């Protein structure tokens, strides 16, 4: 790097997030919802994965096993292809397009659905054994954003950077303590696994449905 008398800047350890609407969502929406509801009907317990039970409520949340993407369900496999393509593009951007997309292999180490009902939530957590994670919003139920209020059933991401012993002033106000992305049905949100995040409490008579995944990326020779 060459320095200059002009002020220069660079990002160190960025936390990039990516978002994209699925162009084929409307064609797959109803079949995807019906497939997930059928899977829910076969659950013998509300949290089939039995993962991080302390971070989840005893009622109001249904979670599948972590193998959703391995199931031969047409709308699910259509979504998997979209997610895989989007994730490859995101990794290219994160690496300044130095990693050829054709050499990237995406491996979904975990994949599951959440159906949130009255009072459901998922407390703050990280994801392990993966580099990238994602959430696809199938059905938002009665999700809404109110000015100066916590979104009903939204996703919240927390700043991973310490703020100098918690000191806050005008100099570091860009380090917002958390981010609540505005959500939309058919939206894919991709984020690095080091970001602490949570599913905010949801209150509504209509189910809220999301699909989530953990992914590893391998660069083939």
Report the C-alpha gap between 80 and 134 in whole angstroms. 11
Q: Give burial (CB, 10 Å; 0-12/13-18/19+) of 177.
A: exposed
Which domains does the chain carry?
18-141+181-219 (2.60.120.620)
Is 44 strand, coil or helix? coil
pLDDT greater than 90 at residue 103:
no
* Structure confidence at residue 99 (pLDDT): 64
| pLDDT tens track for 149-159 | 789 999 999 99
Cα dist. 216→50, 77, 99, 163, 164 in Å? 22, 18, 15, 30, 32
| pLDDT tens track for 149-206 | 789 999 999 998 875 666 788 888 888 888 999 999 999 999 999 999 999 999 999 9
Q: Which two tokens stand for residue 108?
A: 């979904």
| pLDDT tens track for 37-58 | 999 999 999 999 999 999 999 9
Which run of H or E residues covers position 137?
strand 132-139
Query: Which whole number is the average pLDDT over 130-146?
Result: 92
Taking the CA atoms of residue 149, residue 17, residue 36 and residue 153 in that order, the dihedral angle to the nearest 10 degrees is -10
* Structure confidence at residue 127 (pLDDT): 93
| pLDDT tens track for 13-23 | 889 999 999 99
Query: Which whole number is the average pLDDT over 75-97?
Result: 93
pLDDT greater than 70 at residue 148:
no
Q: Give the closest residue to 201 by CA, choosing from 147, 142, 160, 159.
A: 142
- The arrangement of strands across the sheet holding 132-139 comes to 18-21, 187-192, 132-139, 208-219, 104-116, 61-63
- Pairwise pLDDT comparison (221 vs 121), residue with the higher score: 121
């Amino acid at each position: 790097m060459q320095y200059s008398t002009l002020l220069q800047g660079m990002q160190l350890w960025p936390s990039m997030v990516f978002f994209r609407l699925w162009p084929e969502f409307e064609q797959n929406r109803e079949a995807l919802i019906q497939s997930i509801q059928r899977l829910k009907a076969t659950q013998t317990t509300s949290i089939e994965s039995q993962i991080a039970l302390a971070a989840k409520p005893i009622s109001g949340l249904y979670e599948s096993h972590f193998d959703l993407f391995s199931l031969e369900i047409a709308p699910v496999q259509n979504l998997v292809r979209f997610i895989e393509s989007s994730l490859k593009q995101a990794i290219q951007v994160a690496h300044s397009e130095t990693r050829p997309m054709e050499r990237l292999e995406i491996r979904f180490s975990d994949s599951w659905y959440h159906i949130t009902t009255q009072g459901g939530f998922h407390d703050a957590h990280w994801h392990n054994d993966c580099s990238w994670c994602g959430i696809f919003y199938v059905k938002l139920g009665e999700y809404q954003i109110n000015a100066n209020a916590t979104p009903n059933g939204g996703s919240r991401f927390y700043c991973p950077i310490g703020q100098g012993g918690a000191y806050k002033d005008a100099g570091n106000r860009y380090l917002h303590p958390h981010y609540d992305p505005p959500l939309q049905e058919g939206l894919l949100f991709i984020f690095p696994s080091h970001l602490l995040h949570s599913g905010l409490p949801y209150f509504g008579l209509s189910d809220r449905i999301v699909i989530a995944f953990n992914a590893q990326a391998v660069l083939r020779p």
